[in-house]
Amino acid sequence: MVENPKEFKKAIRGHVAVAISVLLLTGVIVTIGVMGLEPRQTAVLILALAAVQVFLVAQFLMHLAGEEWLIQSVVGFTVFFVAALLALSVYTYHDTYEGTYTTDRPPVTGDVREP
Amino acid sequence: MDIPYTIQSRPDTGVYNGKLGMWLFLASEIMLFGGLFSAYIFLRTGVPDWPRGADLLNVPIASVNTVILVMSGVTMVMAWASLKLGSLGQSRVYLLLTMLLGLAFLGLKSYEYYEKFSNDLYPATSNFYGIYFALTGLHYLHVLGGVVVIAYHLVFGGILWRKTPEQFVNRIEVTGLYWHFVDLVWLILFPSLYLV
């Protein structure tokens, strides 16, 4: 089934190397998580490293890197819409009962027309 | 009547139908988990104080579970690779290992749930536990589904292998795609719930 078994075995060793990298990153993530850094800093670092892990799994173990354009488009569109959904969810953090914060200024409240 | 393009690639899509179907299914799964993550963000940003996952959940067990799932991803790749190299026996060994690792994950996760329930911590206890049980529970069901499919391949795969080996290789490939996706979801769930 495989035309060049030597090349194929080499590719499989690449897969194992990717999995080992993911495991090492897990170790780093757990270490950062229990180190007790400032919460915002911890969140940014951990989620960035988790994104790298996800990228490695999707690109190499799921073979997305060498996949057909159609499949890459399906995944690309889906990830775009999910990212937009999550970004909007994060944006609601700026929403308060008084209004929406877009800068450090307090929100505009009540009737904003000139008297 | 035979289902077309189960082995050869379809000329217009460039892939066999099973693979395209699995990717479309995974796209819908991304939306499903994405929606739940969105709910998690809403709950978390909507309150001034949100508990730190590491203070309430069992990080060592979850870390071991992460290692187990990543290792099961490797054995799944090896199962597919063994078939590509023509060895059903070796592939079965790797499939069995993948299934056992999946069961180990489920066992540890069940123990974690047992720990919570025996301390009277349920989804209704707080928003934190509500979203924790919803996200990890859905993921648990996905792992369980994967284990069932792998068990099916272990028991009945030989029949298809003898009839049309290429089709069986493709089935293992799409099962592997699903299994890696389950792994991938956990790689996001674990840090978001337990460590952040």
Q: Report yes or no: B193 and B57 within 8 Å, Cβ to Cβ.
A: yes
Q: What is the average pLDDT score of chain A?
A: 86
Distances (CA, A) of B111 to A41, A89, B120, B148: 31, 32, 14, 20
Cα dihedral A17, B143, B114, B188 sign: positive
Residue A10 has pLDDT above 70, yes or no: yes
pLDDT at A105 (0 to 100): 52
Residue B48 has pLDDT above 70, yes or no: yes
Residues of A in contact with B41 (CB under 8 A): 86, 89-90, 92
Q: Report yes or no: B178 and B22 within 8 Å, Cβ to Cβ.
A: yes
- Mean pLDDT, to the nearest integer, of B71-92? 95
Q: How far is B98 from chain A (nearest CA, A)?
A: 14
Give the C-alpha separation, B48 to B56, whole Å. 18
Residues whose CB falls within 8 Å of the CB of residue B157, separated by 6 or more in sequence, listed in order: B88, B92, B95, B168, B171, B172
Q: Which long-range contacts (CB under 8 A, 24 or more apart) does A28-37 make?
A: A29/A53, A29/B190, A29/B191, A29/B195, A30/B59, A30/B63, A30/B195, A32/B195, A33/B54, A33/B59, A33/B191, A33/B194, A33/B195, A33/B196, A34/B54, A34/B59, A34/B195
pTM: 0.91
What pLDDT digit, counting tens, does each position of A18-65 carry? 999 999 999 999 999 988 889 889 999 999 999 999 999 999 999 999
Give the C-alpha separation, B66 to B46, whole Å. 29
What pLDDT digit, counting tens, does each position of B3-13 carry? 889 999 999 99
Q: Report yes or no: A57 and A22 within 8 Å, Cβ to Cβ.
A: yes
ipTM field: 0.93
Q: Report yes or no: B38 and B45 within 8 Å, Cβ to Cβ.
A: no
pLDDT at A115 (0 to 100): 45
Q: Which of B151, B175, B99, B6 is nearest to A62 (CA)?
A: B175
b/e code B113-123 from CB counts within 10 Å (16+ = b)? eeebeeeebee
| Minimal Cβ distance to A89: which of B38, B59, B71 | B38
**Residue B48: DSSP 8-state:** S
Give the C-alpha separation, A17 to A10, whole Å. 11
- Mean pLDDT, to the nearest integer, of A92-108? 62
Give which of A89, A92, A97, A101 to mutate to test B binding, by max B Cβ within 10 Å.
Answer: A89
Residues 50-69 of A with CB under 8 A from B: 50, 53-54, 57-58, 61-62, 67-69
Give the C-alpha separation, B30 to B26, whole Å. 6
- Mean pLDDT, to the nearest integer, of B49-56? 91
Is A19 near chain B, with CB under 8 Å? yes
pLDDT at A111 (0 to 100): 53
Nearest CA in chain A to B60: A30
Give which of A21, A26, A40, A92 to mutate to test B binding, by max B Cβ within 10 Å.
Answer: A26
Q: What percent of chain B has pLDDT over 90?
A: 93
Residue B80 has pLDDT above 70, yes or no: yes
**Distance between start and end Cα atoms, chain B:** 53
Residue A109 has pLDDT above 60, yes or no: no
- Mean pLDDT, to the nearest integer, of B155-184? 96
